[in-house]
Structure 1
Amino acid sequence: MKHILTLCFLSFSILFASNVQLIKKENPDSNTTLLVIGGIHGNEPGGYFTASILSQHYNITSKNLWIVPNLNRDSILQNERGIYGDMNRKFLSIKNNDPDKTIVDEIKKIILEPKVSLVVNLHDGHGFYRKKNQGSIFNPNAWGQTCVIDQCQLKQNQIFGNLNDIALNVKNNINQRLLAKHHKFDVKNTQTKYDDEQMQLSLTYFAVTHNKPAFAIETSKNLSSLSQKVFYQLLAIEEYMKIMGITYKRDFTLNEKELAKILKNYGTLTINHNFLLDLNNIKKILRFIPIKSASNDFKFSHSLGEIKESKGVYKVYIGNKLITKLKPQYFKISSNCPESFIVEVDGKQIPIEKASKFFVHDDFKVLGIKGYRVNIIGYSSPHKTDESGLVIRKKDMNKLYSIDKNGSIYRIEFYKEDKFCTMLLVQFK
């Protein structure tokens, strides 16, 4: 079973190095590169949803941005810190039989790439950090709302080696845009080499011991929404990009309301290049999904998309969110299907590419193709096995068979003899 991310941007490259998804947004003007890592802890969604938005909604116009949106993918699916133990405590040493070893070894190699100039590791932390104890939520042991450094300074020849000054700059600028006064950020210096044996095992300390500037951003788990966490994470990353001279454009206004909309957009899933699902407002269970019995290709438009098969059911995730369950109907797949079909939409004939969606106000009609059978899922035609050539209106459809909760989106399936060919989605407006 293959799982592939597809993003429609010309300047991107997306690499799967072993189990690590690395998204590169590069320009030829410089080797200066910011590496952003999300999802080292599976129960900290602020970090990995931030990295996902960064990968899908930011265009880097000078210098380079590398993104690992979902480092600890298995733990993200289960919404657990680390199902094989804390991955962020495995960077000093790791046993050969540890299930995390491949990932840890691979991210180490990425961190040590000569191009990587600065590393930011994204987290959600408990409470709100304060230098003086102000109760169980606001205290020196809290991690939330901090720019974390392991030490103040790297070697003098490191261009971004003054970690303390950079962290102070970032937190000061974040604090100019707080959503609430008690959300304020501060710098937390763990003084890892001398004071924190646990942090000596961490990703950022691995980086700084190899003279790579590294920071952690911790938004508070006590913030009221995921959109608030992502807001602060993106503010921080934009500050790091500013310090590094990385210029960018984003396709949204950075505020909590806009982020809430983006976070609800789960994109699409294409199966075997011939079956499209719109994951927004999709029903909790879809039955009779025509796929192969093995070696299926799943392609998400969302960088956090994952498939987990269990007892013959395919669970579809975006990050830690279970979006839907697919109950399959196994078919052989025809290899000689057309790339497009002619559909009469509201009286006008138009070509529709396979595995795509079209919109209808009043009615549609699929024009027949010799040798192919059309099955409109949710339409009942008792005297016909081929439903091409029929004028179909929304009132003719049975909402029980829609793929969305509103009863507006339906499947049009094409078969050649007894083999599945492809599918279109029709959405009534």
Structure 2
Amino acid sequence: MKLFLGKFFLFLNLFFVSLFGDTQLIKKENSDSNTTLLVIGGIHGDEPGGYFAASILATHYKIHSKNLWIVPNLNQESILKNSRGIHGDMNRKFSQLAHNDKDKETVEEIKKIITQQNVSLVLNLHDGNGFYRKTDKGNIFNPNAWGQTCVIDQCNLSNQPFGDLNKIAADIKERINQKLIEEHHTFDVKNTNTKFDDEAMQLSLTYFAVTNNKPAFAIESSKNLPSLSQKVFYHLLAIEEFMNIMDISFERTFELSEQNLVTILDNYGNLNINNNIFIDLTNIKKFLSFIPIKSESNAFKFSNPLGSVVREGQNFVVYIGNKKVTTLSPQYFEMLEPCKKEKGFDVVIDGKKFSLDYASDFFVHDDFNITRKDGYRVNVIGYKATGQVEESGIAIKLQDFDRRFSMDVDGLVYRVEFYKNDEFCSMSKVHFRQDNEK
């Protein structure tokens, strides 16, 4: 059973997240123009280059002029299963669709988004097999391959500012080929001539778009590229060149390189549970036990738009895209709602006193001591106490912890939980700094 999928963003650039039914639509807009680029990732759940590129576009890019809309995870259920389509190929459902098809709601929602009046150009992101070549050069490099292409359904679309599809695709090809990681990664234009030559493509998202007078392209990185970071690199490179052609002014928070993308892809962001637990998902252990939550109606919110939580048996499994990040074993409590409005707690850190908010992180070199507060009980998870019910008023060092209870794989982050009248209030985290950290 799929649970609440939160959308929670903590980034420098502001954007608006709306829902068409269950479809996540991220809007980065300006008032200077109605020109809008729509980028869609994840129509095939086993093509992570596309949907991870879309998520980075959502979280690490700022748009200064015109508009960018992003649907990062169109086929979310298939992404979780790393399947092309658990209910069949969603990209073959844009012409006719049975009333009882399980993808029907999602397909109808994305159709409504595509046909919005101010959508000027549509990009559908894929990872395709092999490396497209116009002549046959073997099993990987041949005309039947889809990888490393800018795909168009036809050459032109009349009476549209970006209607010269063939010229735009050729321009994109030339721009990308100037920035290749390896020489054999070359891009080319693949025109499927859909109306006359390709019945399967007549059922696709891009053909639906062009038949509704919307310029549309598919970008296909190669599944034969050796890493996810390379797939994402070429998708972002293509998207940026489309934004340049459309005069969409943008900036990103990083230099576009394969190595920087490795770092970004390894950063899974944060998970907020019920606004009283915040978990950094990067470098997290694969299993965390006794996480205090409500027995029902929990709100899971992510800083990464690909985040989701799935109930598996008694546990809650956390995913970023198709990557299983951690499993949370719950312990159910009544939640003390007013706790969020009260003053936080005092703590002595390395001999200095600080006042901290609930559900905050604090950093320690030597030891920390939570000041006692009337009516509250402190539970320091993993602290090897002897016969103590309440763990405030105690100076605690890193060596006092059982490393099995750390939240991170390095054994440096531990939970500090606050209770009032046996109701859970909030969880803070203590981070022990290593000797070379300031």
TM-score interval, normalised by the smaller of the two chains: over 0.9
| 1:353 pairs with 2:357 | yes
Q: Secondary structure at the match of 2:102?
A: coil
| 1:216 pairs with 2:218 | yes
2:360 & 2:305 partners in 1: Cα distance?
Answer: 20
**Bigger Cα displacement from structure 2, 376-385 vs 44-53:** 376-385
Q: Deviations over 1:178-223 (max 9, x none)?
A: 1111100000000000000000000000000011000000000000
Q: Secondary structure at the match of 1:314?
A: strand
2:169 & 2:343 partners in 1: Cα distance?
Answer: 53
2:86 corresponding residue in structure 1: 83
1:407 corresponding residue in structure 2: 411
1:374 corresponding residue in structure 2: 378
1:394 corresponding residue in structure 2: 398
1:218 & 1:175 partners in 2: Cα distance?
Answer: 14
1:314 & 1:398 partners in 2: Cα distance?
Answer: 24
The counterpart of 2:346, out of the listed 316, 329, 342, is 342
**Bigger Cα displacement from structure 2, 414-423 vs 217-226:** 414-423
1:420 corresponding residue in structure 2: 424
Structure 2's unaligned 5+ residue stretches are 434-438
Matched-pair contact (CA < 8 Å) for 2:381–2:417:
yes
Q: Deviations over 1:141-191 (max 9, x none)?
A: 000000000000001x20000000000000100000111111000000000
Q: Secondary structure at the match of 1:359?
A: strand
How large is the Cα RMSD of the aligned pairs? 1.0
1:258 corresponding residue in structure 2: 260
The counterpart of 1:249, out of the listed 242, 248, 251, is 251
Matched-pair contact (CA < 8 Å) for 2:398–2:432:
yes
Return the letter of the residue paired with 1:226.
L
Change beyond 3 A, Cα 1:339–1:226: farther
1:182 corresponding residue in structure 2: 184
1:97 corresponding residue in structure 2: 100
The counterpart of 2:290, out of the listed 283, 288, 291, is 288
Matched-pair contact (CA < 8 Å) for 1:270–1:355:
no
Q: Deviations over 1:53-87 (max 9, x none)?
A: 00000000111100000000000000000000000
| 1:122 pairs with 2:125 | yes
1:174 & 1:345 partners in 2: Cα distance?
Answer: 52
Residue 251 of structure 1, CA deviation: 0.5
Q: Secondary structure at the match of 1:98?
A: coil
1:365 corresponding residue in structure 2: 369
Residue 94 of structure 1, CA deviation: 1.1
Q: Secondary structure at the match of 2:240?
A: helix
Q: Secondary structure at the match of 1:236?
A: helix
**Bigger Cα displacement from structure 2, 334-343 vs 89-98:** 334-343
Residue 348 of structure 1, CA deviation: 2.2
1:71 corresponding residue in structure 2: 74
Matched-pair contact (CA < 8 Å) for 2:130–2:146:
yes
Return the letter of the residue paired with 1:330.
Y
Q: Secondary structure at the match of 1:170?
A: helix
1:17 corresponding residue in structure 2: 20
| 1:303 pairs with 2:314 | no
Matched-pair contact (CA < 8 Å) for 1:23–1:66:
yes
Residue 339 of structure 1, CA deviation: 5.4
| 1:26 pairs with 2:1 | no
1:91 & 1:100 partners in 2: Cα distance?
Answer: 11
1:356 & 1:234 partners in 2: Cα distance?
Answer: 34
Q: Secondary structure at the match of 1:3?
A: coil
Q: Deviations over 1:18-46 (max 9, x none)?
A: 11000000011111100000000000000
2:317 corresponding residue in structure 1: 315
**Bigger Cα displacement from structure 2, 363-372 vs 397-406:** 363-372
Deviation beyond 4 Å, 4+ runs, structure 1:
none
1:57 corresponding residue in structure 2: 60
1:196 corresponding residue in structure 2: 198
Matched-pair contact (CA < 8 Å) for 2:63–2:251:
yes
- TM-score, length of structure 2 as denominator length: 0.96
Residue 2 of structure 1, CA deviation: 2.9
Return the letter of the residue paired with 1:119.
V
1:340 & 1:2 partners in 2: Cα distance?
Answer: 28
2:126 & 2:344 partners in 1: Cα distance?
Answer: 45
Return the letter of the residue paired with 2:296.
A
2:97 & 2:375 partners in 1: Cα distance?
Answer: 58
Structure 1's unaligned 5+ residue stretches are none
Q: Secondary structure at the match of 1:259?
A: helix
2:436 corresponding residue in structure 1: none
2:253 & 2:47 partners in 1: Cα distance?
Answer: 25
1:166 corresponding residue in structure 2: 168
Residue 410 of structure 1, CA deviation: 0.3
Matched-pair contact (CA < 8 Å) for 1:11–1:26:
no
Matched-pair contact (CA < 8 Å) for 2:6–2:308:
no
Q: Secondary structure at the match of 1:160?
A: coil
Q: Deviations over 1:369-407 (max 9, x none)?
A: 211100000102223211111111111111010011110
The percent of aligned pairs where both chains have the same amino acid is 61
1:350 & 1:22 partners in 2: Cα distance?
Answer: 41
| 1:139 pairs with 2:136 | no
Q: Secondary structure at the match of 1:132?
A: coil
Q: Deviations over 1:61-117 (max 9, x none)?
A: 111100000000000000000000000000101111111111100000000011110
Matched-pair contact (CA < 8 Å) for 2:4–2:309:
no
Residue 340 of structure 1, CA deviation: 2.6
**Bigger Cα displacement from structure 2, 44-53 vs 346-355:** 346-355
Matched-pair contact (CA < 8 Å) for 1:219–1:232:
yes
1:321 & 1:315 partners in 2: Cα distance?
Answer: 10
- TM-score, length of structure 1 as denominator length: 0.98
